[in-house]
Chains A and B, each alone.
Chain A
Amino acid sequence: MSLNAKWVPMKWPCGPIEIARISKSRPADSELRKTIEGWTQPSTLQLLKGTPINCLVVDWASGTADDEAQQRALKPLIAAGRALGLSFVGKVGTRENIAAIVAAGRAAGLEAVMMDGPANHPLDLPVILGFPRDSVDWDVTTEIFSATGNVWPGVVLPTMKGDTGVGGPTGEPWMDSNGWFALLARQMVSNKSVWLEIDLPESSGALPVESYCRAIADSRAYSSHWVLTLDAAMRTGMLNSDPQAISVWKSIGVMLSFFEEHAEWATYKPMGILAVVSDFRGPNSFLSGETLNLLSRRHVQYEILDRKRALAGSVTGLKAVLWTDDDPPSAEQHRNLLDFVEQGGLVIAPKYWGPAGAGPRHEYWLSGYDIYDLGKGRIVVASGGFSDPFQLARDTHLLVGRENDLARLFNPGTTNCSTSIGPDRRKEIVQIVNYASRSASYLAVWVSLNAHGARLWSPGSKTPHSLECIPESGGTSFELPEFSVNCAIEIERMV
């Protein structure tokens, strides 16, 4: 038995453990209790018909008195699901009797267990390890691993905190996205899959359909999986065949199918002429992670390199390296980075570690940095080190130069994009996600290449829409029709 990278996961809250959980927060909610009992019934699995969902995440053990009843209640559900071709992953929230719990799970038909930390001894089932996303131990991640502490994708509206306005540092609408973390996970452990667990936002009723679809798009466009989670109102509605809930459910299925039909995009390589280098661990994780987030907000496309393994050979395909950690490069990295600079590369670092004797110069528009010209390139050093990721992302974009942008959005509003390239380098994909509930309109996308042709793929449409390639500023522009949540431009490159 092994973990399957093709699993499309969904959280399936049911059974006594879930009832005990909601009894603490909503003790009087008898309808929700009825819903949970309903979702424990095997017949509910029929709701999955026609969707790509093939893996259900269920509570298996919580270390409480409810565990035995939970496992008993799940057995018919698991058996029925297995007969339908579904896989089940059991969440285990205890270390007591772990071997027995897992063995029981295997006997009941579970194919894996999900746990917050590694077990001390081998288990009968493969493990999906879970981590808070700000402290992922990249060295012990499992083939599939999960991350908690993610944000609910969307626009954060400015609010007031006391007498102080709270908004994004750009002064523009602030968008919450997990895209940067998915990119990080993908590039730190390239052959593994990350599942994002996201707490649903507080809502008085059912979440709007766009909200669900955005959460799917924000994960899948960056090659991760959101463990699909439905709110209580939605689950109740589906159980009662409420037309509105069924309609939302169909749209969720369409969005999931869209990404399954284009599963090859997830294998494309993220593009970037800037590499962000860090160990992304411990004290370095906040600055480096938030810098990635803020570079994404500026539509800067980047590669991510694990400092522990990066730059072992000559640096190719890059124009700039942002070295975010205070730790200096190893002797080998040092040599390769200096070669890169000598050949015309740019290195941005918190400390100077270039050849002794070089004197810095300054630019009036770049306050707080020392610039060392070496060969054809530059090492740019922050005089006081790095501390503010917003400033670092902005200055990095400025130093790399907009002339090196790979993509630009015009009328971006609340959209963001990611670019990736196919294995034969003939196709480039630009995936665009809209983080607002209002449709994106008059969005134009510019890419820095000469396009041979382009097609627009949208969820729900089996055939692509041909896009005109408009030469502009040494690249190509595309004018996109109005869209709700997401779309993707498939570009044929001139090679």
Chain B
Amino acid sequence: MTAKMKSSRRQFLGAMTMAAGAYLARPSMLSAQQAPAGRVAVGLCSVYNRQVVDVLSTMFDQLGGLEKLVRGKTVAVKLNMGGTPTLRLRYLQPGMTTWAHPQVVGALVHLLGRAGAQRIRLLESAWLTTEPLQQFMIGAGWIPGDFERSANRVEFENTNYLGSGKTYARFMVPHGGLLFTGYDLNQSYRDCDVFISMAKLKEHRTAGVTLSMKNCFGITPCTIYGQDVPEDEPSLIPTGGRYLLHSGARQPPKSAPPAVDLNAPKEDGYRVPRVVADLVAARPIDLAVVDGIYTMAGGETPAQGAGVSVAIHPGLLIAGTNCVSTDAACMALMGFDPMADRGTPPFERCDSTLRLAEQLGVGIRDLSRVDVAGTPISKARFDFRKAWNSLV
């Protein structure tokens, strides 16, 4: 099956190129070349209740205030709901281990509404389905109505396919890209004024860490970057995981921007960090929010059994205006060196997404050059590997 085009294929590609061109002209993209540091705020929060709103509110004030970023704007929030909604680490709900907790999502929506956001769009590429995002949430035991009641005009979109748009939006990577020259995404990532990545504080077997940047791996639609997609055009429905991004065993449909180098390594530890760096360069993150109140150590999915992920309680919230700097602070809080690279934890078998994004001019990872507000990292550090070793 291929995507139905109301206009001709030529018009379709032309429209996407125009969209990409318009996007590249934005000053925020061009300034990314200078590797800004941004500001990061760290907050202590031990429970998922009203306290989350208070802590996040303070943190956003420490970052300079939410209002000037979002007032009157359309704000898109990429959630962190990877995998199937029915999978849990032991009996724990996904918000306690793998996904940013709904209490944190609700708190952010509430604060965005309070700060004057005109429209808040919750986005996620729901695993293997075209169902509305609300349905996916309900399947996990979430109540989407809670988010709708937290602010005015809250919308949801499953971005794993064309969704409510007529065409995909094309995002070209500045300076040509590391793995692909550009990416075709659901239009929701273009039709917003502010883009927020809301992630979970956790490790990742392929990318070392899953933080605000790796969260954006999931903005790629599986109708283009999934297994078994057609040769020429996107499929209508997601056909599988993002196998081709991981393995490079094949290319996306010809309608999508091509690979930079067809002979690039096929190893996922090489490819996934580069895809992530490309994506955050092409679709900049305006605000990163990371939930580390409860989470897990040892991996990114709730794989059961001995020697895999374990539930932990760092009691942390992290936010920042630059995704590289925010993720660097997160790494330090997790007990890792943000300047580390392949061969050093947590990048034992992959390249550092932070270094690659820094090379693309997205931001800096050297914490000596980053302004960290709120609780000092040294006082909030929660060593993930130590916790994992003690619990497994």
Contact = CB atoms under 8 A, between A and B. Distances in A.
A296 to B, nearest CB: 15
A401 B132 CA distance: 10
Interface stretch (A58-66, A324-332, A472-480): A472-480
B307 interface: no
B contact patch SS:
loop
Interface string A390-403: 00000000100111
Interface stretch (A13-21, A83-91, A151-159, A407-415): A407-415
A435 interface: no
Interface string A157-197: 00000000000000100000000000000000000000000
B236 A367 contact: yes
B86 A442 contact: no
Contacts of A398: 131, 135
A314 to B, nearest CB: 29
Interface stretch (B43-51, B137-145, B272-280, B344-352): B137-145
A444 B158 CA distance: 26
Given A365-B131, A402-B139, A403-B138, A412 B164 contact: no
Q: B88, B135, B141, B164: which has the most chain A beta carbons within 10 Å?
A: B141
A149 B87 CA distance: 34
Interface in A296-350: none
B130 to A, nearest CB: 6
Nearest to B145: A403
B90 interface: yes
A44 interface: no
Contacts of B31: none
A473 B146 CA distance: 11
Nearest to B93: A472
Interface in B100-136: 128, 130-132, 135
A441 interface: yes
Interface residues of B, number: 23
A26 B325 CA distance: 73
Interface in B155-185: 158, 162-164
B163 to A, nearest CB: 7
B82 interface: no
A372 interface: no
A411 B164 CA distance: 31
A249 interface: no
Which of the listed residues A409, A412, A444 has the most CB atoms from chain B within 10 Å of its own CB?
A444
A446 interface: yes
A410 B143 CA distance: 16
Nearest to B137: A402
Given A402-B135, A410-B87, A411-B88, 19 more contacts: A171-B128, A171-B240, A364-B163, A365-B130, A365-B132, A365-B163, A367-B236, A402-B138, A408-B139, A408-B141, A410-B88, A410-B91, A411-B304, A412-B86, A442-B90, A442-B91, A442-B304, A472-B93, A473-B138
> Which 9 residue pairs across A and B have the least CB separation, nearest first?
A402-B138, A473-B141, A479-B91, A364-B164, A410-B88, A442-B90, A402-B139, A402-B135, A410-B86
